[in-house]
Amino acid sequence: MECLHGTALRHVEQRTPTNVRATDDIIACEVPVALHYNAVPFAVLMATPCDLADLALGFSLSEAIIGPHDAWQLDDVLEELEGFVVNMRIPEARAARLAQRSRPMPSYGGCGICGSASIEDVLRMPAQVSSQLQVDESALHRALDTLHQQQPLNAETGATHAAGFANARGELLLVREDVGRHNALDKLIGGLHGHNIPAGDGFVITTSRASYELAMKAAQIGIPLLAAISAPTTLAIALAQSTGLGLVGFARDRKCVVYAHPHRLRRTTP
């Protein structure tokens, strides 16, 4: 498969009012990634095919398929003709509960909850965020200032979202990219778990809007603050308010709007 590193070359025409030029362009890949638990298919994600182990683990944690202390095993990541299959082994009790949650449709790159079979599956309420972390505005802006330097896929293609995790000082510890904003966050969550980085010890910034599924995933694993460069939705705000998640939107150009739990983001005086 040509997309092993998340990008592929395509022949294109670059057009201006005075010129047409044939050239090659670097394009972000989007392929189906099937997640199988205990040899049973559960979901197909449309994702960028890099950091797939992180994606599978992060999706499993953020969707409450497994808990942070559950035993699990990544059996293999298999390349197929047009995509990948990720096989995970989870506890039988978890697999039995999972069998009650049907996802008969694929989840597309812009939607983390497409294919869920019921409203109850979608609108589940995570536990309260237990972290007491508060972050200075200056730390948020410091993390945002450095995020663009750690987005190699987007630098090449202009087509991917990024999710980054920063400590309380605003130092980025981990960044993941994907064509889907929810996939980028799931990859980040899987990376945090794999690197033994406590979710409650920092905050997440994302280069997208703050949709419900992003707020839900962040709260599910105990992230205390989620900041997005674009707007949140009403449902994301409601979930953040209910769970103790600090929610920030329009975080760019040294400005931001706080939508939930403003105590999470301490005002930095000029």
- Structural domain ending residue among the three candidates 67, 98, 122: 122
Reported as a single tens digit per residue, the pLDDT across 109-121 is 555 545 444 444 5
Q: Which residue range forms the structural domain that includes residue 110? A: 31-122
Domain-embedded: residue 20? no
Reported as a single tens digit per residue, the pLDDT across 195-249 is 999 999 999 999 999 999 999 999 999 999 999 999 999 999 999 999 999 999 9
Q: What is the helix (H) or strand (E) element at residue 250, kind and residue range?
A: strand 246-252
Do 166 and 188 meet the contact criterion of CB atoms below 8 Å apart? no
Reported as a single tens digit per residue, the pLDDT across 161-207 is 999 999 999 999 999 999 999 999 999 999 999 999 999 999 999 99
Cα 243 from Cα 225, distance rounded (Å) = 11
The residues annotated with a catalytic role in the active site are 111
Q: Are residues 104 and 219 in the same domain?
A: no
Q: What are residue 222's phi and psi, to 5 degrees? A: 90, 20
- Structural domain ending residue among the three candidates 122, 155, 170: 122
Residue burial 8-38, b: 16+ Cβ < 10 Å; e: rest? eeeeeeeeeeeeeeeeeeebbbbbbbbbbbb
3-state secondary structure (DSSP) of residue 67: coil
Q: Are residues 107 and 176 in the same domain?
A: no
Q: Are residues 96 and 167 in the same domain?
A: no
Q: Are residues 82 and 200 in the same domain?
A: no
Domain-embedded: residue 56? yes
Q: Are residues 159 and 246 in the same domain?
A: yes
Residue 141: is its pLDDT beyond 90? yes
3-state helix, strand, coil in the chain (%, to 5): 30, 35, 35
Number of domains within the chain = 2
Cα 43 from Cα 29, distance rounded (Å) = 19
Q: What percent of the chain has pLDDT over 70?
A: 90
Residue 118 is predicted with a pLDDT of 44
Averaged pLDDT score across all residues of the chain: 91
Taking the CA atoms of residue 107, residue 179, residue 145 and residue 58 in that order, the dihedral angle to the nearest 10 degrees is 40
Q: Are residues 113 and 181 in the same domain?
A: no
List all residues 6 or more positions away from 243 whose beta carbon is below 8 Å from its beta carbon. Answer: 125, 126, 127, 128, 129, 219
